[in-house]
Amino acid sequence: MTNKPNPWKDMPESTQRRIKSDTLHNLFWITDLEGKYGFLLESKDLFDDIKLPANLKGIELLKRNSTYGHGELFLVLNDKEDWQIFYTLCNDLVSITDEYDEDKAMISAVEVRLKRWQQLLKQDRNNSMNLHKQMGLFSELLCLRDIILPRYGVEQAIISWVGPDFDKQDFLLDDAIIEVKSYKTSKGQIAHISSVKQLFSDKVPLFLLTYGLTQTENGQSISDIVENINSHLNTKSNEIKNKFEGKLLEYGYMPDIIKNPFYKFMVDKNRVFLTSGNFPKIQPKFISHGITDVKYSIDLLKCGDYEQDIINFLE
């Protein structure tokens, strides 16, 4: 981030400068009367609705219809010290606008992205992607890339990935549900279950997919897996690309602004279990009324009777 140019650095107060010349849309770097840094997106048409699309921490938003017959969306940064994060946000919005010819569709996509940024900016950037969270995302992306994508295709794989949406499980398919868990190999094969409903399904088979990980410089990082998946999206629609980026963002993955290092991992053990029947789990029907939260751990070494073939378990 420190090597990024500051586009507002030499701009006087109350000025604007077009961001790109090779675009259909009117996008500007701006400064206000106090010299604060800002971003302006102009719509060729008046807005149907001037309700603010998001509430961004440290950033003022203004959405209005100009007397000149076009819509204006302003973002103004309160503290210049945060310009690098703001610059990343603005460039993210610019990249979205490049994908749309029609202004209405472009504005809608920008507003969706602002809502995602609202959630991200609420997080503590010093701890938004700690080791535990990176292990979780790394394992879910491995499942998406190596197990779901080859069988269902990249679009269906991304649609089925509901882990970032904080659903009950991580992947919801038409004929199966997959809950993904990772653990440090050095700590033993223990899967930590964080909800009583996490291993419960009354409709389709639910599989517990586990990854034993070791942190090592010879391994792969989240960024490596994301790059692999993006290579499958090059010829796909903008909608599915935005969906994938949005889910990563909801997980807290924004490499340009988070301060944690991206760890590298090696998979030592990959196992999958069918959780029906007598698989060791706590079932909702056995939880007394009034208990709202249940967390427990499963020793995978004692679950051999329920293990499935990792290659063919979705057949």
pLDDT in tens, 115-128: 888 877 877 666 56
pLDDT of residue 2: 43
The pLDDT score that the predictor gives to residue 126 is: 60
CB 69 within 8 A of CB 59: no
SS3 content of the chain, % helix, strand, coil (to 5): 35, 25, 45
Give the pLDDT of residue 101: 87
> Which residue matches tokens 């009583």?
196
The rounded distance, in Å, linking the Cα atoms of 70 and 65 is 6
> Angle 255-80-124 (CA atoms, 0-180°, nearest 5)?
40
Tens digit of pLDDT for each residue in 225-247? 999 999 998 877 767 887 787 78
Q: In which residue ranges of the chain is pLDDT below 50?
A: 1-2
pTM for this entry: 0.74
Q: Are 208 and 273 in contact (CB under 8 A)?
A: yes
The residues pairing with 257 across neighbouring beta strands, listed in sequence order, are none
Say how far residue 285 (Cα) sits from the centre of its chain.
Answer: 33
Cα–Cα distance, 23 to 25 (Å, whole number): 5
Written as six digits, the tokens of 105 are 């569709």
Residue 114 CB contacts under 8 Å (≥ 6 apart), including other chains: 53, 54, 56, 61, 93
Nearest-angstrom CA–CA distance, 210 and 308: 12
Any idea where the domains of the chain sit in the sequence?
Answer: 16-121, 131-308
Closest by CA to 206, choosing from 221, 195, 218, 190, is: 195
